Amino acid sequence: MSIYKSIGLDLGSKTCGVAVSDGLGMYAHPLVTLRFDGNLEDLKDMIQPILKEHNVNTIALGYPKMMNNDIGERALISEEFKALLETWFNIKVVLIDERLTSVLSERQLIAQDVSRKKRKKVVDQAAAVQILQSLLDRQRFF
């Protein structure tokens, strides 16, 4: 019996935070921050080995809607990236409302006394953890 996992992606303009679920699908853990030049196509070769190594069957992709629920430029880019991921990997991709995840992640890291330099390196992963945990909680309780 194969154990499938999920990953969470926090897509930025130059970085993409990645988190992975545990084998039971209960908890999200930070994995890596991918750096790219802004071209979404560049992420394909970086994400593919992660999907294979972790036996991923679902991606939770952050969907940065505006506070008034409007769809802005970053949300449209996430919609485009969702379509690319589905095409490239033939995988289920779920958009997860990520409003304030980066702010909350930053605050949690500050509360844990993580240095500013270290926070900059891991804040995208922390946001990806929150995105993925939202999906895992939803699947567990609904």
Helix ranges (H only) for 2-115 are 44-53, 73-89, 101-111
- pLDDT tens for each residue of 49-89: 999 999 999 999 999 988 888 888 999 999 999 999 999 99
pTM assigned to the model: 0.88
**Level-2 CATH architecture, domain 5-141:** 2-Layer Sandwich (3.30)
Range with lowest mean pLDDT among 12-21, 66-75, 98-107: 98-107
- pLDDT tens for each residue of 17-53: 999 999 899 999 999 999 999 899 999 999 999 999 9
**Could you say which DSSP state residue 68 is in?**
T
Domain spans in the chain, listed from the N-terminal domain onward: 5-141
Tell me the C-alpha to C-alpha distance, in Å, between residue 14 and each of 24, 34, 90, 111: 31, 8, 24, 26
